[in-house]
Amino acid sequence: MNSEVSLVAVARIIKPFGLRGEVKLHLLADLKDFLTYQEFLVKEKFFLRRLVPVSTRGGGTIMLFEGYASRDDAEALRGKTLYIREEDLLEKNHIDEFYSFDLEGLSVVDINDIEIGIVREMVDLNGRWYLDVAGERDVLIPFVKPLVKRVEWQSKIVRVDLPEGFLDI
């Protein structure tokens, strides 16, 4: 594989699911985008090809890959991260569209210009997205309009308006 290829993590394999080689995933990408991807790379430099459509069963996202037909086969994938080539990402259509990894490393600042911390990653918890912010106190901030006012790309800031006492919890 060419070392110049940029990869983007889109999911982590949590564990085998069932007896037929399926695996349960933790998505790092939006589900509707994820559904469009057919081939994935793993850091160990091998490819996985999706066999069946992604399904959501048993409280998670489930997938089956070509060549993995049993629970033992699927066990070999436990803990692996799935990547796609950055060039294969869906094109963003609007200025306010971005991928969750675009926010990593941005400063989180409240409307009074007080820095809260740095975005470690976006976390999907039961279908709701949160900013995982590392700061004086680590905090998960729901990524919703009433709290996240805007992303200031030029200054690399996520501007938030948190209720009084939010950081004291």
Q: How confident is the model at residue 153 (pLDDT cuts 50, 70, 90)?
A: confident
Q: How confident is the model at residue 123 (pLDDT cuts 50, 70, 90)?
A: confident
What would the pLDDT profile of 17-57 be if each residue is shown by its tens digit? 989 999 998 877 666 667 777 778 887 666 777 766 667 76
Residue 139 pLDDT greater than 60, yes or no: yes
The fold adopted by the segment(s) 7-87 is Elongation Factor Tu (Ef-tu); domain 3 (2.40.30)
CA 59/CA 36 separation, integer angstroms: 21
Closest CA to 119 of 95, 146, 141, 145: 141
Q: Are 134 and 120 in contact (CB under 8 A)?
A: yes
CATH 2.30.30.240 placement within the chain = 100-168
Other Cβ atoms less than 10 A from the Cβ of 20: the count is 13
Q: How confident is the model at residue 86 (pLDDT cuts 50, 70, 90)?
A: confident
Residue 133 pLDDT greater than 70, yes or no: yes
C-alpha torsion sign, points 141, 144, 146, 148: positive
| Mean pLDDT estimate for the chain | 81
Q: In CATH terms, is domain 100-168 a member of 2.30.30.240?
A: yes
What is 77-138 written as a DSSP string? TTTPEEEEEGGGSPPP-STT---GGGGTT-EEEETTS-EEEEEEEEEEETTEEEEEEEESS-
What would the pLDDT profile of 106-116 be if each residue is shown by its tens digit? 999 999 999 99
Q: Are 124 and 72 in contact (CB under 8 A)?
A: no
Name the percent of the chain lying above pLDDT 70. 78
Q: Are 144 and 161 in contact (CB under 8 A)?
A: no
Q: Can you give the pLDDT at residue 93?
A: 46
Q: Can you give the pLDDT at residue 91?
A: 58
Q: Are 17 and 29 in contact (CB under 8 A)?
A: no
Q: Can you give the pLDDT at residue 138?
A: 93
Residue 157 pLDDT greater than 70, yes or no: yes
Burial class (CB in 10 A: 0-12, 13-18, 19+), 87: exposed
CATH 2.40.30.60 placement within the chain = 7-87
Give the pair of three-digit tokens for residue 76: 């070999």
Q: Can you give the pLDDT at residue 41?
A: 80
